[in-house]
Amino acid sequence: MTMKESGEVLLDKANGLAVITLSRPNKRNALSPTMRASLGECLADVGKDEAVKVLLLRGDGPAFCAGADIVDAPQSPLAWRERIRMAQAHHIAIVRMNKPVIAAVQGAATGGGASLALAADILVMADDAKLSFPFVRLGLVPDGGASALLQAKTNAATALDLLLTGGSITAVDAQHLGLTRRVVPAEQLDAASRALASDLLNLPWEALMLTKALCAQHWAAGLEPVLAHEAEAFALASSTAGHQSAIAAMLLKLNQKGKS
């Protein structure tokens, strides 16, 4: 067994299974730049470790991941572009990794957290899970490949409806849309996701690797150019008056809530 702790991102490797845990439950696992960097290091470690055959992504606490931590949000379009590129690199690593990736999702998976979940090959969702895409409500465009991932894994109509309205989908919705075949009671999420990982570990790894690559030839073809455009569009959106107004309104609401 190998364990690695990088602050609020944990990596545990044993018997062919790697488990990456986002461990900042008091902030609903919102990703700070430091956490993003640690996540990237863990993904790189897993990607190059030939002893690892399956990766499980999970989050501690009641939420999978609340997306980016806005407390230390970038202050310029160029800084935003670099932060988005970092997130994209992680999600591309998951998509291109030559081993199956499972995401165990409970509670909120918001913004970049939803994109992270969608990058995985298989979603296991607790019955209280919700994927939310609030980007336009913040005057922004989807990040982390959300627009490409949603269209590839559902359809253009569903993706447009969700992204243009800043909408969300429950675990039941996700099952109906075909995003997952696996919705379980919240208290059974960890056991169910680990049981799935165990099932995959008992299958020939070469067949899993080749099957994942074969499927990616279709649904993930051209993903990188789309994400490059996404980073540029996000940087542009971050400089607009609409974004500034949306952020000011949100911070005011949070401040008022804190005083009540």
Nearest of 64, 68, 65 to residue 86 by alpha carbon: 68
Strands 108-110 and 17-22, bridge-based pairing: unpaired
**157-183 pLDDT tens trace:** 999 999 999 999 999 999 999 999 999
What is the per-residue pLDDT for 220? 94
Q: pLDDT at position 201, please?
A: 98
CA distance 49 to 105: 25
Q: Dihedral sign for Cα 41, 224, 86, 117, please.
A: negative
Give the model confidence (pLDDT) of 12-42 as tens digits. 999 999 999 999 999 999 999 999 999 999 9
CA 244 to chain CA mean position, Å: 25
Among 248, 1, 223, 181, CA closest to 96 = 223
Q: pLDDT averaged over the chain? A: 94
> Rounded to two decimals, what is the model's pTM?
0.95
pLDDT at residue 5, as a whole number: 60
* Residue of 91, 94, 108 lying closest to 145 (CA atoms): 91
Given a cut of 90, is residue 217 above it in pLDDT? yes
Q: Map out the domains of the chain as residue ranges.
A: 2-259
Separation of alpha carbons 193 and 54, rounded Å: 11
What tens digit of pLDDT does each residue of 34-58 get? Answer: 999 999 999 999 999 999 999 999 9
- E-state strands within the chain: 2-6, 9-14, 17-22, 54-59, 101-105, 108-110, 122-126, 130-132, 168-170, 182-184
Q: 2-259 domain in CATH 3.90.226.10?
A: yes
- C-alpha span between 117 and 122 (Å, rounded): 9
Closest among 142, 139, 117 to 129, alpha carbons compared: 117
Q: Which residues pair with 185 in a beta bridge?
A: none
Q: Which helix (H) or strand (E) holds 252?
A: helix 241-259
- Residue 73 scores a pLDDT above 90: no
